[in-house]
Structure 1
């Protein structure tokens, strides 16, 4: 999700993975087409647009910056490809580009603006053009038009409104098909092959690397373990360098998993689940409960964890459905995830945990709680209390919101009561995250990295959020195990 910013969410929020009033699930709207802001290309799928921008434009920018870095300081002026603002330092150009130009978000806003309907100021009817709106408004005030002309114009306006509604319903249906993986056989392997092949065509990858990556993917899918190519191991220790240690509350060790060639645009739920599992599998008690998820996965003495692959997680959730867990979620997704690009959310995460007899909590922050109705102080208070609870082992939190999901690994308290969440985002590329593991300090001084990890309250702009967490125990009682098949959540406030 790059620009990272695209997953199904359930709750009363559009596309918010929650259980509200009897586990109801509502699907969010997605923009049907995306126009590249740097060239005239139009794509119907977000992942294809991401790949296009990455291969056609951003890679070129990275290569230019890399070449320029080899030159003497201040030897050239570097222009931003979007706004033509110039910089003497390539690092300033890169920071400007990452912080000022959120390509996909701007594209989404532009697309929405282009499709905005015009409302009649008298009766609030909506029209797609100013001409039709003007004709309609005249009907409210005209006294010299004949009845026949009135009826003819009213008939034309009604036909236009019906056409607009039919087009909207058709576009909404296509978006739902794409979001839930019903769009003509798209899946992990096909998307990976297509994106790898594009990289070879553009000269960003050699033919040898192409075949090696395909072989690694097939081996990973065969044994059910992620190949680790997008993982940054034990990232929590390195993130401590970004904060004041005395003011930060953090979870136990966890690995970061980034979106890759095969799951870009739809796999953030699976990648966050892998992050959660990377923490649980370091604890022998939880590793024993997860043994059936992937028999060859276990905690290791060298602190290296092999988590299940995306396809294995898909089949594991299907197995939980067959056991009777979350029947409504199973019905909504057609009872099938394997071989698709269907999005998952918090309910699928807790469904998998419950099937492994791991106790969970599902918390819905269904509206802002600040005085101005825009911010979520109750969410920050809940997260703070979670990390303040004394425990030898503290798993991270699965964090779901509109169109995307992330992982909360801690909270930093700052002066004057201000706080920042410490967040791992699957849309952060592995090469960016691995900058944190070296001692050069480049990641700490890179706004593109730090702004996604250190998240203040003002950056949480969605109306609704949801957190899934491991509740520090196991379900051994059979009656409780049967009851855990129904997904339940707690609403705050």
Structure 2
């Protein structure tokens, strides 16, 4: 920050320094450095000093008469940087002014506070033919080179001190910035960890227990709320433990014969349908107390597997599977597929572990499991809408070709031998068991949803038109996929 060379006042800019010097020092009346008396000009001030403060007798001095003019180069009492008077003082006159800060004394012509009185006593212009030396930093003149060197050294020390202060300020600012960056990184890491833990909990990867743990907790809660008797709890728990021990689903969430009921329904009812294609026989499985909220992928695999088990073409592939496996068993089967090298990237997402967790699975895990059983399958990705308003007409057309291929004819209801389709979309999965073409040429999917209970499925078996378990999705509703 610029400093006034006369009074050492810190100012914001060089222009402010020049204005300060002009107003505070040049426009004011000069004052006597010995008694403080004001004079209208420098000539009057010189006469005042000669008259009121004469040199004591016996001391050499300039004698009567006007004071000698400053040496050439001093600039007519106007130094080259900031104008200030340069006086010739007798050595005994002691022109130093007291510094109220106690840092030292200040000469009338020196803008710095110095602690060396020897230097002050030598800053004088004695006139005559003596050579004068001007300070390159403040334009002060003196007659001794050694004294000038000491004076310049004071300037350099002050400059070094100022630069040291700036360096310390810079180091402090850098340290504060480092601390702020460290705190910001710590906050970002904390937020990332919270978000990661939230996703872990959402997708069942937080080690909070799996199918068995959730089943027991929900049953205990039902007993506490009076919705279940203790003896029923113990009986159902024993059945659950037995099914888990053998790795077989207990079948309490299964509904069979739905495809056959649909075939009869379309043959006798629903006049708006032009044609309909149905998959091979499929058993419906819905979520239970042990997998509610996360088991849709496993339940859809049970539906698909139930259809394959009824097809003799897959007997060689499913030789070791006779009954529908339980959810924990399916988790172990997927882990075995990973160990064989199927989908290593997907396995790393689950840390190669599914058993004992509530982890959600999708089409990739189903593909890995079926491929490990040597069942030919493929994943078809419709990653964005292909129609207006977020609809998926290309998806519907692909499913129509899948069921109608090799099933040409004029029959209204076509019961094919095609297995059902595992359909994964955002946040949920369902099983496609057929597709219908209406008289206005629109296509609708027939879906089995694991969220539908056995009671809803029974309505379909009884030919109730109010059943909601087998959903018909027209193209206008395909944005949910």
Q: TM-score range by the shorter chain?
A: 0.5 to 0.7
Superposed displacement of residue 333, structure 1? 0.9
Aligned to 1:319: 336
**C-alpha distance in structure 2 between counterparts of 1:272 and 1:402, whole Å:** 15
Report Cα offsets for 1:212-262 as digits up to 9, x if no partner.
Answer: 221121111111111000001121122342674752111010000000000
CA distance in 2, matches of 1:435, 1:226: 23
Contact 2:385 2:479 in 1 (8 A): no
The match for 2:199 is: 176
Question: 1:26-37 maps to which residues of 2 (within 5 A)?
Answer: none
* 1:235–1:254 CA contact under 8 A, matched in 2: yes
The structure number with the bigger radius of gyration is 2
- Per the TM alignment, residue 349 of structure 1 is displaced from its structure 2 partner at its CA by 0.6
Structure 2 distance, partners of 1:208, 1:334, is 39
Where do residues 72-471 of structure 1 align in structure 2 (5 Å cutoff)?
A: 169-240=192-263, 241=265, 244=270, 247-292=275-320, 294=321, 297=322, 306-370=323-387, 372=388, 374-390=390-406, 393-438=417-462, 441=464, 444-446=465-467, 449=468, 453-462=471-480
Cα RMSD, aligned residues only: 2.7
Say if 1:328 and 1:215 are closer, same or farther in 2 by CA, change over 3 A. same
Q: In 2, distance between residues paired with 1:361 and 1:197? A: 42
Q: Secondary structure at the match of 1:417?
A: coil
Q: Compared with structure 1, are the counterparts of its residues 367 and 164 closer, same or farther at alpha carbon in structure 2 (3 Å cutoff)?
A: farther
Conservation of the 8 A alpha-carbon contact between 1:420 and 1:454 = yes
The CA distance in 1 between the partners of 2:257 and 2:374, in whole Å, is 26
Question: Distance in 1 between the 2:274 and 2:226 partners?
Answer: 47
Change (3 A) 1:159 1:330: closer
Give the whole-Å Cα distance in 2 for the aligned partners of 1:455 and 1:210.
Answer: 39
| SS state at 2:315 partner | helix
5+ residue gaps, structure 2, are: 1-180, 408-415
The 1-side partners of 2:466 and 2:203 are apart by 39
Q: Secondary structure at the match of 1:407?
A: strand
* Conserved? CA contact 2:389–2:476, under 8 Å: no
Superposed CA offset, 1:421-480 (max 9, x none):
0000001112221222235x3xx225xx16x52122222224xx5xxxxxxxxxxxxxxx
Shift of 1:323: 0.9
Q: Relative contact order (C-alpha < 8 Å, sep 6+): which is higher?
A: 1
Cα deviation digits, residues 126-150 of structure 1 (max 9, x gap): xxxxxxxxxxxxxxxxxxxxxxxxx
Residues in 1 aligned to 2:438 and 2:335: alpha-carbon distance in whole angstroms: 43
How far apart are the structure 2 equivalents of 1:317 and 1:335?
A: 9
Measure, in 1, the Cα distance between the counterparts of 2:442 and 2:184. Answer: 49
What is the CA-CA distance between 1:269 and the residue it aligns to? 0.4
Change (3 A) 1:162 1:318: closer
Tell me the secondary structure at the aligned position of residue 395 of structure 2. helix
Q: Structure 1 residues 338 and 184, CA, compared in 2 at 3 Å: closer, same or farther?
A: closer
| Structure 2 counterpart SS, 1:308 | coil
Native 8 Å contact 1:259 1:271 kept in 2: yes
Q: Secondary structure at the match of 1:423?
A: strand
> Residues 376, 159 of structure 1: CA spacing in aligned structure 2 closer, same or farther, 3 A cutoff?
farther
1:336/1:415 Cα in 2 relative to 1: closer, same or farther (>3 Å)? same
How many residues end up aligned between the 2 structures? 291
Report deviation, 1:380.
0.5
Work out whether residues 180 and 333 of structure 1, in 8 Å CA contact, stay in contact via their aligned partners in 2.
no
Distance of 2:459 and 2:187 partners within structure 1? 49
| Local SS of the residue matching 2:431 | strand
Change (3 A) 1:454 1:160: farther
Distance in 2, Cα, partners of 1:285 & 1:416: 37
Give structure 1 stretches of 5+ with no counterpart. 1-157, 298-305, 466-493
Q: Distance in 1 between matches of 2:461 and 2:224?
A: 32
